[in-house]
Each structure stands twice: as structure tokens, then as C-alpha cells.
Amino acid sequence: MSGFEIAASLVEKVLEEYMKRLLDKVSKGERLTQAEVSLLMVGLVQRELVRIEKQMAEGFATMNKRIDDLRSELLSKNEETNKRIDDLRAELLSKNEETNKRIDDLRSELYSKLDDTNKRIDDVKSDVKVFREDVFNRLNTLSANFDKALSDLRTEFYKKLDETKADTYKRLDDLKADISSKYQIMSQRIDDLDKKLIDLKSD
């Protein structure tokens, strides 16, 4: 903890203790000075700001955890996808080697039927080309879906962040208005009490 944080904590404790004394004074019916009323208002605002700050910190912590969990899930799915791609690549290489072996065997064994063998080779090449194009298309689709999911996640995150900021500012404005209203009521009550004391003295 830094020196500034220690000092802030001490100031907060002193202010809290002073607020308790002022509230105790009010509960006993004693009149507060204008400075004491102002300090009491500052203390109430400080207490509410601390509560709001704590709620915001908890909200951001929850949001960050959800983002981390989602990132972990996306990374896990990405690793799973890469593994499937690697397995498919290995399978294709294995089949390609097997195909080449069969072609070599056919060429050696059926040299007299070279034309027919060449035709079968061309057919196999065509099938492999179609299969490779299909694999590349699937890879491109997976990449596009991943980019879209990441973009949607960022959009949702900034949307939630803006909503949280707007809600916080609104609550602060409501708090200021409520404190101002309570301050006016308290001031009026103090003025009324002063008038009653003056009337009692005059009697």
C-alpha cells in the first residue's frame, strides 16, 4: 500500500468517526453549525461514492472473468479445430502416399495398359483437387466464423461498458439530486428550529 493510499485511508477513517459524532449530535437534538452540516453532507457523499466504486469494481471483475472464460473457450475451440485440421492433413498425406504407391504398382504391373492407367491417375488427381478445394473452403469458412465471433464479442463488450458508464453517471446524478434535496430539507428544519428557539426566548 502506497503512502497516498495510507493517508487516504486515515482521512476516510477520521471522516467516518467525525460523521458518527455529528449524527450522534443530531440524534440528541443538538444544533449543527453550517460547517458541520457541510462536513456531514461531504461524509454522506463520500460514503455513497465508496459504495458505488465497490459495486463498479465488482461489476468489472465479473465482466473481466466472463471475457476471460469466453476467450479460453474460443482458444480451446481453436486448438480443437487446428488439431482436426492437422489430423485431416495427416490423413490426406497418408492417402496421397497410398495412392502414389498404388499408381506405381499399377504402372509396373500394367505397363501394357498405360493409357488406361494414365486415365485413372487423371481421375484421382481430379478427385484430390476437388477434395483440397473443399477443405480450403471449409478452412476459410471456419476462419470467417472465428473473426465474426471475435468481432461480436468486442462489440458486446464495448456495448456493456457504455451501458455501465451511462448507468453509473445516472446514479451519480440521482445521488447528487437526492443529497441536494435532503440538504435543503435539513436547512429548512434548522431554520424552523432557530425560529422556534427565538420564539421561546421572546416568550
The DSSP-derived string for 169-188 is HHHHHHHHHHHHHHHHHHHH
> Scanning the structure block, which residue is given the C-alpha cell 440521482?
174
- Nearest CA-CA partner of 189 in 47, 22, 29: 29
- Nearest CA-CA partner of 131 in 101, 81, 87, 89: 89
pLDDT tens-digit series, residues 95-131: 888 888 887 887 777 677 777 878 888 888 888 888 8
pLDDT tens-digit series, residues 165-197: 888 888 888 888 888 888 888 888 888 887 888
Question: Once rounded to an integer, what is the mean pLDDT over residues 132-138?
Answer: 86
**Cα(85)–Cα(100) distance, integer angstroms:** 22
- Nearest CA-CA partner of 43 in 179, 152, 173, 188: 179
Query: Which pLDDT value is given to residue 4?
Result: 46
**The overall pTM is greater than 0.85:** no
Map out the domains of the chain as residue ranges.
31-202
Query: Which pLDDT value is given to residue 89?
Result: 86
